[in-house]
Amino acid sequence: MFAFFGYRCSVIAQDKTVFKVIPLGVYGGMDESNLSSYMLGVKGSDQYVCLDAGTLHAGIVKATANKVFSTSENVLKNNIRGYLVSHPHLDHLAGLIINSPDDSSKNIYGLPFCLDIIQDKYFSWKSWANFADKGEAPQLKKYHYVYLNPDSVIALTNTTMRLRTFELSHSSPYKSTAFLISSGGAYVLYLGDTGADEIEHSGRLKELWLAITPLIKANQLRGIFIETSFPNEQASSKLFGHLTPALLMTEMQQLASMTGVNNLQKVAIVITHIKPTGNNESIIKAQLKKNNELKLKLVFPKQGKLIEL
């Protein structure tokens, strides 16, 4: 048994699938049918939460075509039990807003800075109907805002999963969020958009690495979803709170120094939020593979293709 964040967990064998992830969208821009959104659930359950919600319907249709779902009907209403929104940029939120008329009642989880912007700028009758239970009247009360606190662990309603949040820097002073989700003794870490500590002049990623180091050493962390938006050639002044392959690997080197390389090699590093303009995608993938001196288990998600962790 292993104690973490105030409750005890059993170590899960690394070769046993615990989580299933369905990428509804994997990119960080340009293609509005394929923007950041990942359905996360526990194996054997049909209960999911969405980690960001840039694309919903198009991703569900693609997953159904790939036989992840037998039918796309009611996946939005019945299988998605809540939304974890890392920050309120449109490429992480547009699907939630556009699909809200056809959705069912559920929670929207986020740090206060994020939920306040959703309330004031999106679910406002000036821009869209207010489907939430706070903000401009009349409130349609379909969605309930759950304000997260980085210092606490909460249960995700209507699932067997639990959540802790961490604040990230996304082109300081702007913020984003990392979500650490657990079920039993297994964990998945999902980072929204984030800059590197050296560029952001921040210690947010180092604080996050320190927090998850015990989980990696105990063989409990199944995957880290982390962005790599631009190729290495992108000027640091034009990163706008994002990572390149070189910056990502610098952060992974720091994490490996805390966990031990052999332990980190057991964790899937899922690359998110590539900006696919021009040849960026192929360049980023090639640079990541070339710079992978740690021999990390790099995973490049595809829209609608199941990932098991």
- Quote the CA–CA distance of 107 and 18 in Å, as a whole number: 24
| Number of domains the chain contains | 1
**Cα-based torsion angle of the residue sequence 110, 115, 116, 117 in order, rounded to the nearest 10 degrees:** 120
pLDDT of residue 293: 98
pLDDT value at position 151?
84
* Burial letters 71-85, b for 16+ CB under 10 A, else e: ebeebbeebbbbbbb
Report the predicted TM-score, pTM, of the whole model to 2 decimal places: 0.95
- Domain of 41, in residue numbers: 2-308
- Starting at the edge strand found earlier in the chain, the sheet holding 80-84 runs 143-147, 106-110, 80-84, 48-51, 37-42, 19-25, 307-308
CATH of the domain at 212: 3.60.15.10
> Would you give per-residue pLDDT tens digits along the chain (309 residues)?
334 444 344 555 566 999 999 999 999 999 999 999 999 999 999 999 999 999 999 999 999 999 999 999 999 999 999 999 999 999 999 999 999 999 999 999 999 999 999 999 999 999 999 999 999 999 999 999 999 999 899 999 999 999 999 999 999 999 999 999 999 999 999 999 999 999 999 999 999 999 999 999 999 999 999 999 999 999 999 999 999 999 999 999 999 999 999 999 999 999 999 999 999 999 999 999 999 999 999 999 999 999 999
256 by DSSP, 3-state: which?
helix
Q: Which residues pair with 283 in a beta bridge?
A: none
